[in-house]
Structure 1
């Protein structure tokens, strides 16, 4: 079960990722705080989380690849036998939670799933008491967890930032877990002071293990109604007695179909439960807006001086907003804690500036203050950061609900996310595109743009010498939102790391050789960005017999990589991520005198409103030069495509894939 509010635990998919790091750190006897996001060795994870918004164009595939595949003839690794959660909520928002869970390992990999469990809590306002923690053998024998196997560790995403050190993970390591074993964990968690006064919200999203019984019970004062958006969860009739009302939801599910490669988040179409005491999004926005607006440091002299010095000489509001945006994303470190895990009140703008770090709501607070200092109005925006393209019908924080904040600049009609270090002003990271957003000042729902410019041109020049060695020169230029992502990759890379990236891109293309890389200026922060590579590939062409040469018009990352991602599944039954773009690619290959082309691929042309493709092959025997030109335009109009749309496009995609995999047949003449 995914527990998305700060008052709950950790989902099983994340737990699987934690265990890899946990084993290493326990062996090294180093204090460990396992990550809750894929983000997926702690400094590396922290760095990845910080860069996540810039790299999130690939998030749907990554999210899908993380899931365990389960089919009808393959048992699930583990099963939730019993999972009961009772929440006793008071009118002021204080809570006492009782959790009682039994998990069973059905396979060897299921042992890894259940042998280590986590309870997340906010040490400043919550207390956790373990009531039961034991391993139960297949024969029924019980083995309690000893105190040496229970450890509180710091939430790693705080990244050492003192303002965010309230998150703690209580880690429970169960002894003697084997196939057929059960683990039983029961605890009581109390929150004396609410994160948001007078409110309660909770999101449940299945962790995709079979569920024999899950029961969620919410006990509230009778005059505090609970609003629910339930899909797959069965609501029982509320029962009122002694001035309180009890709401109960039951859930059962057999083995889940696997999550298809490239599929968007399960909650877009699968089961989910969202409950909240806040009746509507306008009320939710008002509750966020009130505390967030009470910042007396918004007009702090240091903030005003910085904003005016950075924009000195500029008169255009867009130019001012761009300069301040660039300063924010390059100078204020992003602490990747999701909105709602801690109090939804930004830190003071002056403190954020002084500390040079903050989470998403802090970025909004400081950027808004800088904009205000130069006369530009802005508004906080609440939304979901992740592969989810809808919100529950009732408002609340959570993994597939509201968990992120960005900014809206009305006079520029522009959204901006300064946490995305690799996104140019005027664009958004893919993880916040094409989804509903809550405008905090207006209290209304809007939507981020569904598409944005993405163009890529590539040129490969290859000259093959008399030994069959290919000497190549490769240049690729990105335009649109991917340009700054690429530029930021090299901005943050050492020279050695940049050369490793070049070598990796050559190898991922299926070629073995040398690679040297040069880039455009990484100090600028906008506009197209180009990289160039040169090197050689020995024995690309053999002097005897016949060689099938790949008709490459790009190294890895071009249209071939894009089409391969879309075609990761032969048939789709689930919504999938379909981020479009326009690609132009060219190959010029000069053959040695001893070789002649015997077979050349045929040209291909496709023209569809969503998908257009063309390829053209020409060989000049006089100069022994082969030229291949390809063009691909994918215009889906949105980022989440349906299974029916995939079915309609599949034949065309297969034709394109066949062309991109085409080979030129070359025979050695012996001359």
Structure 2
């Protein structure tokens, strides 16, 4: 990895890059480079005035990287973002040969960074995991930084020989204005570079003295803000992926070769697998038990694939240490499966909000950065790094609906676009003559949200559970007291329920007219989901859309001395992918108002376009209005004379 940590660990400027891979020979797709007017940054915190990265690559996989960057600090926020910068390196295979830094005041005065302001610190995500302590941040603290000052940083970093003929690099802008940036790749002439470029403008490669020099230029004015809920910028925005790996099949082969591990058949691994599955009736149950054991017993060290060596640690060591990153989880889970005769293979994927890979293979923040397991005989992907939050047979949403490179087959597949998700709610309110109410509330989740909810309570203390109950009341705009019960938190699959009981204050007022919410759920129900989908009135960027089925029913018992003035009208909406129905019934004899609502949102995918949002927005607005509807009641005019409170 190159200077990815300079921007990705707390700076928010410059070029966010990682050693990665790409494919498709040098006819890189080049989208326009937005060098639009007013590159004064329009008061962006930081402006990149000049930025050059030169990579000199050798056949044995060794390389030297020379970086030279000048930033202008434009605002106080820019001071906070850039006064301290970091250069990431792997201490086992990389050395920083030279580094110099200086602050430049508005009058041109140079203030050099002294040795006392440059120090190495441990990469924080690997804390407590000794086998991952190779990642180091060289911290550079600039003196005298204020708006209008500049920072100049240069460094040279050398990487030892790794695999022959292997180089890969991923770059994406960190969304600060760029006046001038150049990426230069100098390789042996017989080692071709493959690229996928969008927004980065390729110059004609130049070959001389047995080497070829590839150059890309980048300029960009102020970036439009990322809309709430939008997919990752790399999905549709500028990016550059370069690699010497010619195809995804070749990339998969390299990973497969690195993953070979004689310790996978270690007796301790085999005995563990067999002891966990001894009475399992079928392969699904065996795989489920091994999955549950791995996700709950092997601590996940959250380092993205490509930030460290792509070769997993030895399975025997992972089992002994009880921790590992994604590739270690895959190695151990795969070995356990193999010990009981279930075939599996690694599946290389992007973890996050990017739903498409570059056309050439490689590791990177917007490319391949994670690995999960594919079980062909069961037709399922599995990700044990999701911890306690995903039951076997389901996936966490951040690996759904995207390309996955199957390592053994050397081909691209795709993870499921949708999976089962349902929530059923029952709410009962009994309002007293003082306007307060007693309530009982029960919600049951099925499908992938069930284990997410179960995990919340599995990890919560008793006090924490009470706090969750209070927060869910407050999010609904209610105030009161509650006690909470849940389903079995030791289970690892199946539906999960949460029940709240308690009292609510001032549900209606004892004098005059009260507009009461026609509740059918507390936080997390139909109203909450629809409001989240309608966060923005207009969308210009593709966004994440995860649907589901929601069924809610409530009963509200009114006091004898109030009159029901108004209930909402029933509503039916058939506007695929949105289907909604509500019904409101009042029984004068029992004085019960019954509210029933059902919402089905079947998007069929995880990414929706701005035009799709616009097409469904009116239906969602109608659902939101109905889910927020009110019941109007009026206190009896002779209430005081009757002695009521």
Structure 2 CA distance, aligned partners of 1:594 and 1:235?
78
Alignment of 1:101 with 2:69, yes or no, is yes
Distance 1:262 1:631 in 2: 24
**Deviation (angstroms), 1:283:** 0.3
Could you tell me how far apart the structure 2 residues matched to 1:230 and 1:73 are? 24
Within a 5 Å distance, the mapping from 1:465-504 to structure 2 comes to 465-504=432-471
Partner-residue secondary structure (3-state), 2:240: strand
Residue in 2 that maps onto 1:238 = 205
SS at match of 1:548: strand
Number of the residue aligned with 1:600? 567
Alignment of 1:140-159 (within 5 A): 140-159=108-127
Q: Partner residue of 1:394?
A: 360
Shift of 1:177: 1.3
TM-superposed CA distance for 1:622, in Å, is 1.9
Q: Does 1:371 align with 2:366?
A: no
Q: Does 1:198 align with 2:165?
A: yes
Question: 1:613-648 CA deviation, whole Å, 9 max, x = no partner?
Answer: 111111222222111111110111110111111011
Large movers: runs of 4+ above 6 Å: 70-73
Secondary structure of 1:151's counterpart equals: strand
Q: In structure 2, how many angstroms separate the alpha carbons of the residues matched to 1:660 and 1:578?
A: 19
Q: Is there any run of 5+ residues in structure 1 with no aligned partner, and where?
A: 1-5, 19-35, 38-69
Say how many residue pairs are matched. 615
Q: Which runs of 5+ in 2 are unaligned?
A: 19-37, 640-645
How far apart are the structure 1 equivalents of 2:6 and 2:379?
Answer: 37
Q: Are residue 180 (structure 1) and residue 148 (structure 2) matched? A: yes
Provide the TM-score with structure 1 as the length reference.
Answer: 0.89
Secondary structure of 1:515 counterpart:
strand
Q: Which residue of 1 aligns with 2:229?
A: 262
Distance 1:474 1:480, change over 3 A: same
The offset of 1:464, in angstroms, is 1.2
Q: Secondary structure at the match of 2:493?
A: coil
Is residue 2:319 matched to residue 1:324? Answer: no
Q: Pairwise CA RMSD of aligned residues? A: 1.9
Give, in whole Å, the separation in 2 of the partners of 1:311 and 1:404: 28
Q: Which residue of 1 aligns with 2:5?
A: 10
Q: Which residue of 2 aligns with 1:630?
A: 597
Describe the shift of the 1:220–1:16 C-alpha distance in structure 2 as closer, same or farther (beyond 3 A).
Answer: closer
1:159–1:335 contact (8 Å) kept in structure 2:
no
Larger Rg: 2
Whole-Å separation in 2 of the counterparts to 1:543 and 1:145: 70
Mapping for residues 102-501 of structure 1, pairs under 5 Å: 102-194=70-162, 196-293=163-260, 295-421=261-387, 422-501=389-468
1:507–1:13 distance in 2 versus 1, CA, 3 Å: farther
Paired residue secondary structure (1:186): strand
Q: CA deviation at 1:16?
A: 4.8
The alignment status of 1:571 with 2:519, answered yes or no, reads no
Label 1:197 to 1:353 Cα distance change in 2 as closer, same or farther (>3 A). Answer: farther
Q: 8 Å contact 1:275–1:394 — kept in the other structure?
A: yes
- What's the secondary structure of 1:419's corresponding residue? helix
Task: Note the C-alpha offset of 1:580.
Answer: 0.8
Q: Identify which range, 534-543 or 380-389, moves more after superposition.
A: 534-543
Q: 1:509 to 1:163 in 2, by over 3 A?
A: same
Do the aligned partners of 2:41 and 2:221 also contact (CA within 8 Å) in 1? no
Deviation at 1:9, TM superposition (A): 3.0
Are 1:71 and 1:258, in contact at CA under 8 Å, matched by a contact in 2? no
Q: CA deviation at 1:14?
A: 4.3
Distance 2:102 2:570 in 1: 66
Return the offset for 1:129: 4.1
Measured against aligned partners, the alpha-carbon deviations of 1:11-65 in whole angstroms (never above 9, x if no partner) come to 64641599xxxxxxxxxxxxxxxxx99xxxxxxxxxxxxxxxxxxxxxxxxxxxx
| SS at structure 2 position matched to 1:346 | coil
What secondary structure sits across from 1:282 in the alignment? Answer: helix
Contact 1:104 1:114 in 2 (8 A): no
Q: Which moved more, 1:506-515 or 1:273-282?
A: 506-515
Deviations 1:360-386 (A, max 9, x none): 111111111111111111111101000
**Could you say which residue in structure 2 is the equivalent of 1:616?**
583
Note if contact 1:307-1:370 (Cα within 8 Å) is conserved in structure 2.
yes
Residue pair 2:401, 2:415 contacting (<8 A) in 1 also: yes
Cα 1:431–1:150 change in 2 (3 A) is same
The aligned residue for residue 65 of structure 1 is none
Secondary structure at 2:468's aligned position in 1?
A: helix
